[in-house]
Amino acid sequence: MTLEHRWTGAISQLDLASGVLQQPDGDWVDEQLHHGTKVVVILRGAMRARIDGCTGEFSIAGPTVCVIRSPADACGRQMVSADEPLHYVMVKAALEPGSKAESASDPLASLIPIDRPSLQYIAAPRALQALCTQLEVCPFVGAARDLFLSAKALEILALACEAIETNSAIEPPRPSLGDVERLKKARTILLERLGAPPNLPALAAAVGLNTRKLTDGFQAAFGTTVNDFLQDARLNEAYRLLSSGATNVSEAAHRVGYTPAYFSAVFRKRFGISPRDLL
């Protein structure tokens, strides 16, 4: 699935895109950066990145939100793991250099100076992950779709701004490479068994970890707890099922392992609407 949309104003230009990036050869790929801000939400997968003007190399695994700032044209490089595609949502906010209104059109100006290239990243908040999932099931067409996507692009920028403002943009300690592979397997098991997931001890045993290593490693590798990840995955799948018209509320709740009453409560808490509103 790929998605592209562009909104242009008097001062800045917003580009919204989402999709899956695969690099089977595992090579470095150059990317031109332009004056402005790029927010990338990595939902699944991992990548390495380098940016001219930044010291060192960045190693990033989803779910993570990355904020890239550049005062002028610069070069970035990225390498996606050959074993796992990168699922992402991206918003580019291009600014007009020298514009008097530039600071007003740059929501991150007060948080991250744009005097030199920079990359900051933190674990993607659950609200931001849920927002990105909604892009996959846009219920509108035509002009309504344009407005919906423009609003979502701005909302992604707002949530990224809030995340940077309230969190330290540092990379958490990472598990060993072997444990990361076990944690990925655990994540896959959860996604494949949303309706009847294993408990923590059973999941840990299935991937060759103890429960402590599973819970601590999952948080470090993916920026969320096992339980929060499972709930997010269940609700996102239910949202997809309902918005596509594939099921009714009771069937959607059953497929993701919830009773209808509890499902309606947690769904409303997450998305701000009743499941029936999508039918």
pTM of the predicted structure, to 2 decimals: 0.56
Could you tell me if 181 and 77 lie in one domain?
no
Q: In what order do the strands lie in the sheet with 74-80?
A: 29-33, 74-80, 46-51, 58-61
Residue 172 lies in a domain: no
- Final residue belonging to a domain, choices 116, 141, 166: 166
Is position 215 within any domain? Answer: yes
63: cis peptide before it, omega within 30°? Answer: yes
Report the alpha-carbon distance of residue 236 to residue 241 in Å, rounded.
9
**171 in a structural domain:** no
How many CA atoms within 13 Å lie on the side-chain side of 266? 20
Q: CATH code at 48?
A: 2.60.120.10
- The closest of 36, 84, 37 to 60, measured between CA atoms, is 84
Burial track 195-210 (b if 16+ CB lie within 10 A, e otherwise):
eebeebeebbeebebe
Q: Is the pLDDT of residue 151 over 70?
A: yes
What does the pLDDT look like over 249-271, one tens digit per residue? 999 999 999 999 999 999 998 88
**Together in a domain, 189 and 245:** yes
Question: What is the 8-class DSSP label of residue 57?
Answer: -
- Sequence-distant (≥ 6) Cβ neighbours of residue 108 within 8 angstroms: 37, 67, 69, 114, 157, 160, 161, 164
- 8 Å CB contact between 225 and 187: no
SS3 of 245, please? coil
For residue 269, give the 3-state DSSP assignment.
Answer: helix
Judgement on whether residues 15 and 50 belong to the same structural domain of the protein: yes
Same domain, yes or no: 159 and 235: no
pLDDT average, residue stretch 116-127: 83
Confidence category of residue 76, pLDDT binned at 50, 70, 90: confident
Element (H, E) at 21: strand 13-21
Are residues 32 and 144 located together in one domain of the fold? yes
Q: Is the pLDDT of residue 30 over 80?
A: yes
In this predicted structure, the answer to whether residue 96 has a pLDDT above a threshold of 70 is: no
**What six digits make up the tokens of 100?**
């008097």
Give residue 153's domain range: 3-166
156/226 same-domain check: no
> Which CATH number do you get for residue 243?
1.10.10.60
Residues contacting residue 212 through CB under 8 Å, at least 6 positions apart:
none
pLDDT at 81 over 80: no
Total number of domains constituting the chain: 2
Predicted local distance difference test score (pLDDT) of residue 148 = 87
Question: Both 148 and 104 in a single domain?
Answer: yes
Q: What's the one-letter identity of residue 128?
A: L
98 and 76 in one domain? yes
140 with 14, same domain: the answer is: yes
Task: Please indicate, yes or no, whether residues 141 and 222 belong to a single structural domain of this protein.
Answer: no
Please report, for residues 133, 255, 256, the alpha-carbon distance to residue 246 in angstroms, rounded to integers and kept in the order given: 17, 12, 14
Which of 166, 185, 207 marks a domain boundary? 166
Are residues 150 and 202 located together in one domain of the fold?
Answer: no
Mean pLDDT estimate for the chain: 81
